[in-house]
Amino acid sequence: MSEKIKIGISSCLLGNKVRWDGGHKRDGYLTDTLGRYVEWVPVCPEAEVGLGIPRETLRLVGDPENPRLVTTQTGIDRTDDMKRWARRRLDALAGENLCGFIFKSNSPSSGMVRVKVYDAKGMPQKRGVGIFARAFMDRFPLIPAEDDGRLRDPAIRENFIDQVFTLRRWRATRGRLSCVALSSISIPATSWCSWPTAPAI
């Protein structure tokens, strides 16, 4: 168990300049503290699907349960392109042995909760899930997932870390535990390594 744990992450959170405006959203806790213990597997759906950097912004529209991904100004529907790319990317990620994923909050591609979805009148409702985030969580329901915004809450952050290490230990048993048993296990992160005290954010 000496190898670092692999966690997928929205690439911009590592400081990579992949956002629509050519910027990033580097998160110091993730890069400097948690990053000492894990190996990041960065993903940027919008850049990797070929929309370019910089690019027109996107938003979710329509039914919050099945929204479309549309460019904000020109109204081009990118949903099918994103879903096709996501299937291929998830196939690749299946071989990475990820123990968790951290998404960029509020993103129409990567947000995992309360993403804005616009109705026919252009009014937003915070009821959506990003296209890639939904595909990931549907494909890998046992992999712990959170977003950078929620991880600012110390209790949520501790729970996420516990879940990551629980999954790591479950995999180390080579499948001797059932998925049902996995859901009932609670393992303190400190059982696995000397985890740093989470800094105040």
Residue 97: C-alpha distances to residues 68, 120, 140, 183 (Å): 30, 41, 11, 18
pLDDT-derived band at 2 (thresholds 50, 70, 90) equals low
Q: What is the pLDDT of residue 182?
A: 42
Render pLDDT for 173-188 as a digit per residue (tens, 0 to 9). Answer: 865 444 434 444 443 4
Residue 119 phi, psi dihedral angles, 5° rounding: -85, -175
Where do the domains of the chain lie? Answer: 5-57+78-112+131-191
Render pLDDT for 101-139 as a digit per residue (tens, 0 to 9). Answer: 999 999 999 999 999 999 999 999 999 999 999 999 999
Q: Prior bond to 199 cis, omega within 30?
A: no
